[in-house]
Structure 1
């Protein structure tokens, strides 16, 4: 593992240079990797592993939209596409990539096929960490590992096709074979990770739930709404409010941050913008810090897991979700965003 200094804190990470694809293939050459679920992470991970030369099969309900999606992606029924129980029977590494609620519902079926010597693979620590609530308790005679790409399956696939990689965490929960860690790293390379950093199942789910509810999705949308609404209230047009709130951030500034960091982005903005950003960042940090404390505590105590399981397991969950997303989509801010995106110059 490579030792990297992260601002004074030294971490060990795994890169493609020290653990190349050829080594990953060698580690997993006798494995049949069965991907159960073809929704958010399933397509990206399956296709990347298939393109990287691994023996991948997909298990999915038939008929379903996800089955049809797998067929469109080139998986063939009876060859590398099977109904779920058949894929579970054939697989030696079971990639459990259903939603958290889906994992709970299917667990009685999956657990029957977790015979000695198999490996159970997750991309999220939820089911294991909150096992008292999920009932997901694997047998002791199998390996249980995790590789969690830091982004959506769509991004994982897109970056792979561009010759890049999405960074991932990896972890080992059970090491029955003595080779679980090596398998986890090999899987991480196989799915197209940029580099891999080690964690454990609990830390992965705590950071993931905090991030999703925080800066990655929940907090950023809340901040967008607050600023957009203030600008509209003070007489600015929808176009101006959206451009100053979202469009400039996503299209201009965040790419600069991604390239070289926040200080570099500041250095490439006007002196007026620099001064204001440096002055006001402390106010925003101090204002939201108590909210993040509350959020992390809710994650750590299992309250977020309890709410997620309760609501996502209801039979009308999809209907309610679609309504919430419809309200978001049809809000003035995101309708303005739709128009702004249409006005972007075409490539």
Structure 2
């Protein structure tokens, strides 16, 4: 473990150079990794681990779309693909990658298959942190660990195939065997992390829920909609409004930020853009800071967990969700986006 300085704060990080893949494979050579769930994170993590030489099996409900997807991805029923209970029974490391609602529903089944010395692995701190609401309380004789890739499972797999990595956090909630650190780091390297930074289960879920509801998804979508609406009501065409709101950001400016930071992106824009951005950034920060404070408090008190769990318990949740997504998809903003994407040079 190395200590790196980020903005004057020292953090514990693990790199591929410090803990190479060969060491990770050797660390887990006697282990069977059972990936439970083949929805969002499951495919990317399972396939990356398999391609990196680990012993991996998948547990998924039979006769489901995700079971069929696993088969299509090369997992063999009865050999490397099993029902959830059977996979959990066979695994010495159980990667619990079902949705938060799925983890609640399947917890008793999985818990009953955990043996002393096994490891229970999460990619989200939700179930453990909000145990009073989820009922997920692991046995005392198993390691409880976390690797949380900072992106979707789709991105994790795509970057892996390109020979790149996606940064991940890691945490140890319970070290029953004395091997939890080596296990969690080996798994983090195995799933394709660029580097691993230390956190704990509570901080992971607090930052994750805040980020998803904030700048990563909720705030971003809301700000897109607001700017697009202002441009449209002032007479700008859908194409112009979309390009100035979304396309230029995602295709031109964000890659520059990713490459060298926000200041470098500013330095590579016109002086007119620089001046306006530097001035207006303060107004946007002051306007949104109270919203982010409210959001974090809602996460910290467990209110966001309560809302999520309650929503998922409703029988018509999936139907209502599709209606909300359809409204988003069929809005003028994103219908315009669909047409603009078709016009990109790589699609012609």
TM-score higher than 0.5: yes
Number of residue-to-residue matches in the alignment: 347
The residue aligned with 1:237 is 237
The offset of 1:85, in angstroms, is 1.2
The residue aligned with 2:342 is 342
Normalising by the residue count of structure 1, what TM-score does the alignment of the two structures yield? 0.99
The residue aligned with 1:268 is 268
The residue aligned with 2:167 is 167
Q: Is 1:103 paired with 2:99? A: no
The residue aligned with 1:32 is 32
Q: Is 1:151 paired with 2:170? A: no
Deviation digits for residues 134-178 of structure 1 (CA, Å, limit 9, x no counterpart):
000011010000000000000000000111100000000110001
The offset of 1:12, in angstroms, is 2.1
Rounded to whole Å, the distance in 1 between the matches of 2:313 and 2:188 is: 30
Deviation digits for residues 99-137 of structure 1 (CA, Å, limit 9, x no counterpart):
000100011111111121111000000000000000000
The residue aligned with 2:60 is 60
Q: Is 1:140 paired with 2:140? A: yes
The residue aligned with 1:88 is 88
In the alignment, structure 1 segments of 5+ residues that lack a partner are none
The offset of 1:54, in angstroms, is 0.2
The residue aligned with 2:320 is 320
The residue aligned with 1:129 is 129
Deviation digits for residues 182-212 of structure 1 (CA, Å, limit 9, x no counterpart):
1000100000000000000000000000000
Q: Is 1:287 paired with 2:305? A: no
Deviation digits for residues 198-245 of structure 1 (CA, Å, limit 9, x no counterpart):
000000000000000000000000000000000001000000000000
CA RMSD of aligned residues (A): 0.7
Question: 1:166 aligns to what SS in structure 2?
Answer: coil
The offset of 1:312, in angstroms, is 1.4
Question: 1:281 aligns to what SS in structure 2?
Answer: helix
Rounded to whole Å, the distance in 2 between the matches of 1:131 and 1:255 is: 39
The offset of 1:257, in angstroms, is 0.3
The offset of 1:4, in angstroms, is 1.7
The residue aligned with 2:203 is 203
The residue aligned with 1:20 is 20
The offset of 1:2, in angstroms, is 2.2
The offset of 1:344, in angstroms, is 0.6
Question: 2:196 aligns to what SS in structure 1?
Answer: strand
Normalising by the residue count of structure 2, what TM-score does the alignment of the two structures yield? 0.99
Question: 2:167 aligns to what SS in structure 1?
Answer: strand
The residue aligned with 1:225 is 225
Rounded to whole Å, the distance in 1 between the matches of 2:108 and 2:187 is: 25
Question: 2:346 aligns to what SS in structure 1?
Answer: coil
Mean Cα deviation higher: 73-82 or 290-299: 73-82
Deviation digits for residues 233-261 of structure 1 (CA, Å, limit 9, x no counterpart):
10000000000000000000000000000
Question: 2:241 aligns to what SS in structure 1?
Answer: helix
The residue aligned with 1:120 is 120
In the alignment, structure 2 segments of 5+ residues that lack a partner are none
The residue aligned with 2:43 is 43
The offset of 1:13, in angstroms, is 0.7
Rounded to whole Å, the distance in 2 between the matches of 1:79 and 1:101 is: 27
The offset of 1:3, in angstroms, is 2.2
Rounded to whole Å, the distance in 1 between the matches of 2:9 and 2:263 is: 20
Rounded to whole Å, the distance in 2 between the matches of 1:21 and 1:321 is: 40
